[in-house]
A and B are shown apart, each in its own frame.
Chain A
């Protein structure tokens, strides 16, 4: 037993383990809706906006760049949501434009005077540096997300199946979409330091996409997405410890392997 859990000897590994246990279910859950609502571009753009948010904070001399990052992401998410509801045809193109602009702005400002290396950890993320207080924030966010899910997931699901039909049943479609956009912004921003801009979207999309290959109803969809997400999180953390690679990428590789396995399973099962 000692050998199996020897990686938990260090405090930073215990905290990282806690972080994985909070972040992965959170991402598994958010991912189901992001995939259902075909918002992969949206969440990707959100991740990119983190750099801009920090840059905006620096330009305006805000001490806590975390704050400017979250505020900017929420504004950005609301804006993207508004655009998506107005121009249904070319949403992916428009979001890409905003996403590229936002990351270019962020990079331009942060790299002024050759100082970008200070922020490069944000690109890959570092789950081993998480503190107990930050763990608590993640816990609160997970609880809030679960609460949101219990109240709003039916509505969001209905709206994604047919917007006008949902409206005709007096479902507050627009309000739900805005709330979800804000929640997505919060989740992405509060975990980006640990997961990293480059792979945050993979972690959101892969478990849900893999789960879709196996599931026939919403309960199975959520269950498998959560299981895959948590499993790749824990295994990725252990592998990263022994193989001495960054944790985020290790988790994503496991999640991707699961995705391909479920894809092959579906092909072979012939459904």
Chain B
């Protein structure tokens, strides 16, 4: 993996999520979430299905209404700054035969120049540079609907870092990616947080990879049950309660769905 732009994480910024709660109708989905995220760290959110993992991501994104606040602070002087979020969704709303190339998609999201009219050389250069970081430069004129799961993931990552985000929010890919693809995915994310000045919040379904790559683990179940290093969380009673024997089962059946 070639990293063209190396910015070491400064370690001086942090993102604080304070008392974040989400309710839909009568039902409270997330309650009093407090998180402390350092730049240059990989934070894995784990929990069972329906624990509110995706809701947490959507709330931080501002896609669903929530109470509480999200602050982006300079750790030295406590100055508040505007948080730029890069988001990598799990899947796109693109079906087979959609006439949208990788260039089209990225240009639609990243520029005002009318994509339907004409290709802009300047925007194309920017897009190629971003794709290059994830070794997918060659995909620029491919149709998005024909990309493999792994290719799409890398294209979306390229798009997410084009605005130089401070925080990268992503879902671990679930479908269309084999074991090698997963390994590659985690290595990519790891390299990204090592070399860029950004923090990563990753929803993960694979406890093995989390154990190997995460700096901080957040165990979610409607609220934060346990938060800390891999060792702290995996050794906790809460973890046993949520995953119990499921952990063993997961080890055996990683390539499910």
Contact = CB atoms under 8 A, between A and B. Distances in A.
Contacts of A165: 87, 89, 109
B119 interface: yes
Given A164-B87, A219-B118, A212 B61 contact: no
Do most interface residues of chain A lie in helix, strand or loop, or is the interface mixed?
A: helix
B12 interface: no
A169 B112 contact: no
A264 to B, nearest CB: 14
Nearest to A160: B93
Contact of B114 (A149, A162, A166, A167): A149
Contact of B141 (A151, A161, A169, A217): A217
A162 B118 CA distance: 22
Contacts, number: 98
Interface stretch (B71-79, B94-102, B201-209, B236-244): B94-102
Contacts of A4: none
Interface residues of A, number: 33
A143 B190 CA distance: 50
B61 A167 contact: yes
A164 B119 CA distance: 25
Contact of A150 (B89, B103, B117): B117
Given A217-B100, A218-B99, A168 B108 contact: no
A266 B97 CA distance: 10
Interface band, chain B: 35 or more
A153 interface: yes
B249 interface: no
Contacts of A266: 97
Nearest to B94: A161
Interface string A221-244: 110000000000000000000000
Contact of B93 (A155, A161, A217, A218): A161
B57 to A, nearest CB: 9
Contact of A158 (B62, B98, B103, B109): B109
B92 A212 contact: no
A154 interface: yes
Contacts of B92: 161-162
A140 to B, nearest CB: 20
Contacts of A219: 115-119
A221 B115 CA distance: 11
A177 B97 CA distance: 23
B243 to A, nearest CB: 28
Contacts of A217: 99-101, 103-104, 141, 143
Interface string B109-126: 111111111110000000
Contact of A216 (B99, B107, B112): B99
A45 to B, nearest CB: 21
Given A164-B58, A169-B163, A212 B98 contact: yes
Given A149-B114, A164-B58, A154 B101 contact: no
B105 interface: yes
Interface of A: 32, 36, 149-151, 153-155, 157-158, 160-169, 171, 211-213, 215-222, 266
Given A154-B114, A161-B93, A217-B143, 20 more contacts: A149-B114, A151-B112, A153-B116, A154-B107, A154-B112, A157-B115, A161-B100, A161-B105, A168-B63, A168-B85, A211-B99, A212-B97, A212-B98, A213-B97, A215-B99, A216-B99, A217-B104, A218-B104, A218-B116, A219-B119
The 6 closest A-B pairs by CB, nearest first: A215-B99, A221-B99, A217-B101, A158-B108, A168-B87, A164-B63
19 contacts: A149-B114, A149-B116, A151-B114, A154-B108, A158-B108, A161-B100, A161-B108, A161-B109, A161-B144, A162-B89, A165-B89, A167-B61, A167-B63, A168-B87, A213-B97, A218-B99, A218-B108, A219-B118, A220-B99
